[in-house]
Amino acid sequence: MIEAVYYTSLNFSTMKLLIASSSKGLLLIEFNKEQEEFVELLKDHFPSLEPIKDREKNLQYINQLTEYFQGKRKEFTFPISLTGTAFQTKVWKELANIPYGKTASYRDIAERIDNPKAMRAVGMANNKNKLPIVIPCHRVIGVNNRLIGYGGGLHIKEELLKLEGINVKDDKVI
């Protein structure tokens, strides 16, 4: 059971990240939201708790995300706390296996979880990922190498892929 939710914000390049955590680990990352909107989102997710703004409680997440944006970190080692359906969890675990600097298609992910016809369902699970960057859904692209479907917006997906050394031009991995 989560007893308290702590949040803070970070700025990287053209992105503002809002993050939330508990004693169990990182709970949520959102892009470019206003703080008030983020707090309301947290209240919706955790109605019995009042979110607490606390940079110190989020320091391990801040430090590792900062290292990622500086190009010094390729994997995250902090604890995470995700809840989802069995299918979503299976997809998220497979997303976590996509290496830094590499991409996979929705079809690839569907095949890797032994459900080759579930490309749309994989996309829906991607959409429910509450920890983008950490669970690297930005590395999932269309079978034609096109950038499609990213909750933070395709411009952020492109920026993250470029940060990882992936060449992108005209919304397509080249």
| DSSP SS3 for 40 | helix
**Which candidate, 80, 100, 69, 103, places its Cα nearest to that of 29?**
80
Q: Tell me the C-alpha distance between 122 and 97, whole Å.
A: 15
Residues near 20 by beta carbon (within 8 Å), at least 6 away in sequence = 5, 6, 7, 26, 27, 28, 38, 42, 51
- On whether the CB atoms of residues 64 and 75 are closer than 8 A, the answer is no
Q: List residues with catalytic annotation.
A: 137
